[in-house]
Structure 1
Amino acid sequence: MPPPLAALPDPHAATVVPKRDFIDRVVAATGTRRAEARPIIEATLDQLGQILSSGQTLAVPPLGRARINLERDARGGDVITLRLRRRASPAAPIVVEKP
């Protein structure tokens, strides 16, 4: 029997991960120093934004394939709605070993 409607999670509720926490997670996963990782992460995020803003489809496993579903101008900037297609079961976490 399916759960009652009140028990279903809100599909629009999301926990926001700030950039600082995102960088901390990458640093913890890779074992690099924050000073080394931060400029690389920021350049990566900048390139992701530029690629998607230009209307290109981004195919980056294990993230998946992201393409623009809807784009419109809003107050203060562009609003881009993405469609992200991922594998059914995510791959094992990436482990980076430092020499």
Structure 2
Amino acid sequence: MADGQSDDTADGQAEKSIDEPLAEHDAAAAPPRATVVTETAIVAGPELKKKDFVERVVTRSGLKKRDAKLAAEAALAVLGEAIANGEELNLPPLGKLKINRRKAQANGMIYVCRLRRPDLGNVAAKEPLADPAEDG
């Protein structure tokens, strides 16, 4: 610098470059740099309608269609109420659902949720929720 001044800051310490590692830390132990994600993957598949859902429940459970429809509609109603109340759902094998945001619209509510699914290979080995002998 001009007039014989050094590259020192006001407190008398020399300025260090941001890119230089600090002397008290080992450069090899420095944490990795953060990466900014600019794109997200949107996964969209075919839509599952309630009629098809009930048919799958009938096939999987062996229940009569009218019984399966009543049970599926009741389960969907309970799930809808829990989501509307802002409850966190932990329902294996579906997964863990957490509501991150919600916004009121003219025709209903928009919910932004996070669903964490378990490894389906491990879920199949677990015990069923009900005994097959406990038919009501």
TM range (shorter): 0.7 to 0.9
TM-score of the superposition, structure 2-length normalised?
Answer: 0.58
| Unmatched tracts of structure 1, length 5 or more | 1-9
User: Quick check: 1:30–1:97 contact (8 Å CA) kept in 2?
Assistant: no
- Highest RCO, 1 vs 2 (Cα 8 Å, sep ≥ 6): 1
**Aligned-partner residue type, residue 61 of structure 1:** P
User: Quick check: 2:99–2:113 contact (8 Å CA) kept in 1?
Assistant: yes
Tell me what 1:32 maps to.
63
| Unmatched tracts of structure 2, length 5 or more | 1-40
Tell me what 2:32 maps to.
none
User: Quick check: 2:93–2:120 contact (8 Å CA) kept in 1?
Assistant: no
What's the offset of the Cα at 1:97?
4.7
Aligned length: 89
- Greater Rg over alpha carbons, structure: 2
Structure (1/2) with the larger helix percentage: 1
CA RMSD of aligned residues (A): 2.2
TM-score of the superposition, structure 1-length normalised?
Answer: 0.78
Q: Deviations over 1:16-68 (max 9, x none)?
A: 01000000001000111001111111011000000011011011111111110
